Amino acid sequence: MTDDTDWLTVPDFAEVLGITPSQVRELIREGHVLAVRRGERQVMQLPAGVIVDGEDGPEVLATLRGTLTLLRDAGFDDAESADWLLHEEAELGMTPLAALREGRRAHVRRIAQSLL
């Protein structure tokens, strides 16, 4: 994963979204977001870049869930999915997460499908 990625703990992620930590854990379980154990203490963390400004405030990037489903279907776990989403993809000229944030869902998913 890229070293310049900002990561949030479950409580911090919850605070940004204005929800409870248990609601964040539910989002993780339901596949809306991914979480990776990181650091010396192996604390569960989520990439901050999956949060976008929505009409009603911060929200999880809507196109993330479908992309994560494709990656899981390809056999990726959350750590591998995070690694793929956060490293530059030559065909995109940016990270897949950055491309999703720019609305390039179809292109990102085409590349993800090629991993199957």
Following DSSP, what letter does each residue of 2-21 receive, concatenated?
Answer: -TT--EEEHHHHHHHHTS-H
pLDDT tens for the 116 residues of the chain, in order: 445 689 999 999 999 999 999 999 999 999 999 999 999 999 999 999 999 999 999 999 999 999 999 999 999 999 999 999 999 999 999 999 999 999 999 999 999 999 87
Q: ∠ CA 71-82-106 to the nearest 5 degrees?
A: 50
Distance in angstroms (rounded) separating the CA atoms of residues 32 and 93: 25
pTM attached to this predicted model: 0.91
| Residues with Cβ within 8 Å of residue 29, at least 6 apart in sequence | none
Q: Answer for the pair 39, 78: CB distance below 8 angstroms, yes or no.
A: no
Which pLDDT does position 109 carry in this prediction? 97
